[in-house]
């Protein structure tokens, strides 16, 4: 029982981190048909800049804010310089965002040096506590809490605000939103910035969890996030939450019970979804 | 009577096929103009040129004397030309009310304060409900649009179009694909809009009897060309129209 809970919490925490990355990706794709392969780069930049601020100030909270600001700034620059010139052209999008991903990754090494950097959980979130027979690691619970909070806030924005309504409608049919006279480009820029900030938040949260950050982590997590977007249904926000948790749990349990399958399990999940439900598990586009 | 919308020799060709061929018409302000013609006559293509979905190969379009030929659909909507599509165009996974609210709020520029809860914009909510009343859909406000019957979707679409408060309404076959029982209700809605008298309506229609008592002006398109333009009486008496459209080529006008 103890083991089961630990694996589940481990999986949930990983799932939430992937969710932070995938939720932005799915809305960016759903809204403007943009495949953003540079998303993982923003995640890694969030981690490095956040840890840098964290080390500098000694405050994890300020570190998190630093990561979010980095995400917003990089997001607005990416949208403006990289994405805007290639709207509507998937091949060019793939090439330029993949290239930009490499640039972001290498720039990390230029700015922060080529070596991995260690990160510790902040004082209040270190260690664990015991609940019955189960030992709970505080930092993992913290990640799950933040993930749930981000989901709730974003869900509220999508469902209850005017911008949210435009985003949901835009995911269903952006041409029609434009034909209503709405400037969807501006909304897309907002979504892109928010998505980048969430990715950066995911990056800084991952740092103390894995204990070490390195430039290639962006690419590794971006692949998981793409798998989640496919499983959850492209453009489905709630789908990305459930798919991320599914992927996180599958990985955690497989790593323990069938270690040789732990890398393949997510690919197999995605393949199964593509074969039996190619539109994704949650295909209610724009239903939030 | 002022002309609000005018085309001069607009032409569009797809490859070798000329879908709209040098059509020059004047749409008078606050009048009801019908566009009729057999299938493939170029009616919807003509609409696409007016609303900006397509750019003409040659010719110009003027809105209140100003050329709009090069403007995007969004800009034309903002200027005052709203259109509906032959295929129903509503957001299926939004509720009926959300659909209309989206159209109501579209008149406002997108700004950051839009992150406030929508309930703080009571006027927009009320406006949306009022429009739903106008198209006889108020009782369905909280259903998902995808659960509406076809005729109800068309009504919702008209409500969204009304919400844009454009001076011109371009309606592309509002009764297309409707069952016979649904037609009277949508006609009632269109009658009501016309009776208010403050909008210019241009409507593509198939069913002759319907357009005759509504129209102030009728345009007849045939093979991409303007065959005739006049009052319903003129059109009925026009022999070219009768032979080309009402005659053997097109017998479906008894409906």
Q: What is the mean pLDDT of chain A?
A: 91
Contacts of A166 in chain B (CB under 8 A): 102, 105, 110, 114
Choice among B36-50, B159-173, B176-190 with the minimum mean pLDDT: B176-190
Whole-number pLDDT of residue B251: 46
Please report residues of B whose CB lies closer than 8 A to that of A283.
none
Distance CA B146, CA A217 (A): 42
Q: How far apart are CA A32 and CA A150, in angstroms?
A: 22
Q: Is the separation of the CB atoms in A208 and A122 below 8 Å?
A: yes
When pLDDT is cut at 50, 70 and 90, the band that residue A287 belongs to is low
In a domain, B33, yes or no: yes
Identify the architecture of domain A2-276 in CATH.
Answer: Orthogonal Bundle (1.10)
> Does the residue B26 lie in any domain?
yes
Establish if B140 belongs to a structural domain: no
Number of domains present in the structure of chain B = 1
Distance in angstroms (rounded) separating the CA atoms of residues A34 and A90: 7
A16 pLDDT higher than 90? yes
SS3 A143: helix
State mean pLDDT over A264-271: 90
- The residue of B53, B71, B95, B115 whose CB has the most chain A CBs within 10 angstroms, and thus the best one to mutate to test that interface, is B115
Chain segment A73-116, per-residue pLDDT in tens = 999 999 999 998 988 888 999 999 999 999 999 999 999 999 99
Establish if B235 belongs to a structural domain. yes
Q: Inform me whether the pLDDT recorded for B153 exceeds 50.
A: yes
Q: When comparing pLDDT for B83 and B64, which is higher?
A: B64
Q: Which helix (H) or strand (E) segment is A206 a member of?
A: helix A184-210
B35-64 pLDDT, tens digit per residue, is 988 888 899 999 999 998 899 999 999 999
- How high is the pLDDT of residue A89? 87
Which residues of A are less than 8 Å from B101 in CB distance? 162, 165
The reply to whether B102 falls in a domain is no
* CA distance, residue B161 to nearest chain A CA (Å): 8
Per-chain mean pLDDT for chain B? 86
pLDDT at B247 over 70: no
User: The domain containing residue B178 runs over which residues?
Assistant: 3-91+167-254
**Does residue A288 register a pLDDT over 60?**
no
Contact residues, chain A, for B110 at CB < 8 Å: 163, 166, 182-183, 186-187
Q: CA-based diameter of chain A, in Å?
A: 59
Report how many helices (DSSP H) and strands (DSSP E) chain B contains, helices first: 9, 10
Query: In whole angstroms, what is the distance from residue B36 CA to residue B144 CA?
Result: 33
Q: CA of A161, closest CA in chain B: separation in Å?
A: 5
Write down the pLDDT at residue A283.
67
- DSSP at B211: H
The string of pLDDT tens digits covering residues B5-15 is: 999 999 999 98
pLDDT at residue B132 is higher than 80: yes
The label of the residue with tokens 């998190």 reads: A64
Q: What are phi and psi of B45, to 5 degrees?
A: -60, -40
Q: What is the pLDDT of residue A33?
A: 86
Q: Which residue of A has its CA nearest to B97?
A: A165
Residues 6+ apart with CB under 8 A from B107: A181, B164, B165
Task: Flag whether pLDDT at A286 surpasses 80.
Answer: no
Residue B33 sits in a domain of what CATH number? 3.40.50.300
Whether the predicted pLDDT of B73 surpasses 90: no
Q: Are A83 and A190 in contact (CB under 8 A)?
A: no
Q: What is the pTM of this model?
A: 0.81
pLDDT band at A280 (very low <50, low <70, confident <90, very high): confident
Check if A98 contacts B (Cβ < 8 Å): no
Q: What tens digit of pLDDT does each residue of A192-235 get? A: 999 999 999 999 999 999 999 999 999 999 999 999 999 999 88
User: For residue B105, is pLDDT > 70?
Assistant: yes
Q: Is B223 left (phi over 0), alpha (psi -120 to 50) or beta?
A: left
- Predicted pLDDT of residue B254: 40
Separation CA A101–CA A234 (nearest Å):
21
* First-to-final CA distance of chain B: 33
Of the candidates A188, A158, A162, the residue with the CA atom closest to the CA atom of residue A285: A158
Q: State pLDDT tens for residues A23-77.
A: 999 989 988 888 899 999 999 999 999 999 999 999 999 999 999 999 999 999 9
- Select, from the ranges A43-47, A282-286, B183-187, the one with the highest average predicted confidence (pLDDT): A43-47
């Amino acid at each position: 029982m103890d083991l089961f809970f630990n694996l589940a919490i481990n999986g949930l925490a990983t799932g939430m981190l992937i969710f932070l990355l995938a939720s932005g990706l799915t809305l960016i794709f759903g809204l403007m048909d943009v495949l953003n392969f540079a998303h993982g780069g923003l995640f890694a930049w969030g981690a490095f800049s956040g840890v840098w601020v964290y080390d500098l100030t000694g405050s994890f909270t300020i570190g998190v804010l630093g990561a979010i600001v980095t995400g917003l700034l990089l997001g607005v620059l990416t949208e403006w310089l990289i994405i805007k010139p290639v709207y509507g052209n998937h091949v060019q999008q793939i090439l330029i965002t993949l290239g930009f991903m490499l640039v972001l990754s290498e720039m990390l090494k230029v700015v922060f040096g080529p070596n991995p950097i260690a990160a510790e959980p902040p004082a209040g979130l270190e260690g664990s506590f015991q609940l019955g027979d189960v030992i709970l690691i505080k930092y993992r619970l913290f990640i799950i809490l933040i993930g749930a909070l981000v989901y709730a806030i974003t869900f509220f924005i999508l469902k209850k605000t005017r911008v949210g309504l435009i985003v949901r409608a835009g995911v269903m049919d952006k041409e029609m939103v434009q034909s209503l006279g709405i400037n969807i480009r501006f909304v897309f820029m907002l979504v892109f910035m928010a998505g980048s900030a969430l990715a950066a938040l995911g990056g800084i949260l991952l740092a103390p969890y894995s204990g070490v950050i390195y430039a290639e982590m962006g690419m590794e997590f971006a692949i998981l996030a793409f798998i989640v977007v496919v499983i959850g249904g492209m453009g489905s926000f709630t789908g990305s939450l459930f798919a991320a948790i599914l992927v996180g749990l599958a990985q955690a349990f497989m790593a323990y019970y069938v270690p040789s399958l732990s890398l393949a399990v997510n690919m197999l999940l995605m393949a199964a979804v593509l074969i039996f439900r190619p539109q994704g598990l949650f295909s209610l586009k724009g239903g939030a | 009577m002022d002309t609000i919308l005018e085309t001069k020799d607009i032409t569009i060709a797809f490859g070798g096929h000329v879908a709209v061929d040098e059509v020059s018409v004047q749409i008078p302000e606050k009048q009801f103009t019908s566009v009729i013609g057999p299938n493939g006559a170029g009616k919807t293509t003509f609409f696409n040129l007016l609303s900006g979905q397509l750019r003409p190969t040659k010719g110009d379009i003027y809105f209140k004397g100003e050329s709009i030929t090069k403007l995007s659909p969004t800009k034309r909507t903002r200027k005052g030309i709203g259109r509906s599509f032959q295929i129903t165009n509503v957001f299926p996974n939004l509720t009926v009310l959300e659909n209309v609210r989206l159209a109501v709020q579209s008149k406002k520029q997108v700004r950051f304060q839009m992150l406030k809860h929508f309930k703080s914009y009571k006027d927009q909510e009320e406006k949306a409900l009022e429009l739903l009343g106008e198209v006889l859909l108020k009782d369905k406000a909280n259903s998902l649009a995808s659960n509406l019957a076809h005729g109800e979707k068309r009504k919702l679409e008209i409500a969204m179009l009304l919400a844009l408060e454009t001076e011109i309404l371009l309606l592309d076959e509002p009764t297309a694909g409707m069952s016979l029982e649904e037609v009277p209700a949508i006609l009632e809605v269109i009658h009501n809009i016309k009776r208010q008298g403050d909008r210019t309506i241009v409507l593509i229609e198939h069913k002759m009897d319907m357009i005759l008592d509504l129209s102030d002006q009728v345009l007849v398109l045939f093979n991409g060309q303007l065959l005739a333009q006049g009052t319903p009486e003129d059109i009925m008496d026009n022999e070219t129209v009768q032979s080309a459209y009402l005659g053997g080529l097109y017998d479906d006008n008894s409906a």
